[in-house]
């Protein structure tokens, strides 16, 4: 699937897919995740995590939404450097730019580096996880079903995200929050304060697995990450580097294994 400006929005990946009848290796596609650094008058403003499409619209629209650009004549030039993942915007010199523009939606890994190991580009990267933990596919399905069961009431009213910390077949901590990332941070905070070890446990998560979610799991030292939703390509590169097992689209009797399959007993 190609975008208007020629960049593919997805990338092929060999995964293991399990359903009621079958378990096989298939060629699938995962969604691409990239970053765009927005520079205004040679000053770095923000790094956005995004799909590789319509980056000029994104950079300009972000500055409109932040209240930086108000009238069409405020904008002099926009240049996009696809290779570097950066947009360079020059505004009308009369435009008052506040120094207090917040840096938003940043992630720590620099996606535009093009190196072989994405984790080496993270400042202060967590080491790989060498846990010997294994999990049965049927346990993964049970845990995902329980996450959904527990979240049903609140979901009806809110459309929130959920995450749980599990050991074996048991959910030890359950969190829900309007912020996808907060659910993991809350689990991490509780584990830190109560000194709960994590290298023998799993995370079950309702949301998509972006690089930031993967990195949160790595810093929590949890070796297995299970989601009802999809992972991005960048998250999977990190998962390989940091030796985290990633399962996605875990729903009903189905699941897909995206990275470090050796921890899953089929």
Which residues are at the interface with its own copies (CB under 8 A)? 1, 9-10, 28-31, 33, 48-51, 53-54, 56-62, 64-65, 67, 69, 72, 75, 100, 102-106, 108, 123-124, 126, 153-154, 157-160, 175-179, 181-182, 184-193, 195, 208, 210, 215-216, 219-220, 229-230, 232
- Nearest approach in angstroms of CB 59 to its own copies is 7
Residue 113 annotated in active site: yes
CB closer to its own copies out of 1 and 93? 1
CB closer to its own copies out of 202 and 212? 212
Please tell me which residue in 50, 106, 113, 191 is annotated as part of the active site: 113
- Nearest approach in angstroms of CB 136 to its own copies is 25
- Nearest approach in angstroms of CB 178 to its own copies is 5
Of 1, 7, 6, 13, nearest to 237 by C-alpha is: 13
- Nearest approach in angstroms of CB 54 to its own copies is 5
Are 206 and 178 in contact by the 8 Å Cβ rule? The answer is no
N-terminal to C-terminal alpha carbon distance within the chain: 32
Catalytic annotation, residues: 113
């Amino acid at each position: 699937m190609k975008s208007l400006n020629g960049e593919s929005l997805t990338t092929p990946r060999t995964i293991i897919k399990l359903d009621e009848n079958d378990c096989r290796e298939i060629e699938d596609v995962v969604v691409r995740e990239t970053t765009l650094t927005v520079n205004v008058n040679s000053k770095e403003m923000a790094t956005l995590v995004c799909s590789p499409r319509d980056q000029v619209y994104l950079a300009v629209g972000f500055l409109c939404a932040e209240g930086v650009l108000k009238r069409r004549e405020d904008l002099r030039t926009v240049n996009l450097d696809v290779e570097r993942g950066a947009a360079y915007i020059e505004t009308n010199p009369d435009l008052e730019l506040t120094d207090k523009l917040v840096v938003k939606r940043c992630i720590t890994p620099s996606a535009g580096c093009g190196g072989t190991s994405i984790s080496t580009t993270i400042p202060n990267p967590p080491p790989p996880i060498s846990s010997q933990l294994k999990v049965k596919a049927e346990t993964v399905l049970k845990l995902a079903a329980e996450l959904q069961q527990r979240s049903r009431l609140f979901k009806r009213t809110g459309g929130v995200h959920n995450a749980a910390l599990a050991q074996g077949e048991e959910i030890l901590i359950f969190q829900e929050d309007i912020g996808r990332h907060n659910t993991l941070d809350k689990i991490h905070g509780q584990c830190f304060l109560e000194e709960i070890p994590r290298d023998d446990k799993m995370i079950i998560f309702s949301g998509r697995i972006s690089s930031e979610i993967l990195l949160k799991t790595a810093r929590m030292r949890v070796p297995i990450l299970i989601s009802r939703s999809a992972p991005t390509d960048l998250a999977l590169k990190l998962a390989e580097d940091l030796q985290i097992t990633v399962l996605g689209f875990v729903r009903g009797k189905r699941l897909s294994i995206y990275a470090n399959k050796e921890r899953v007993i089929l």
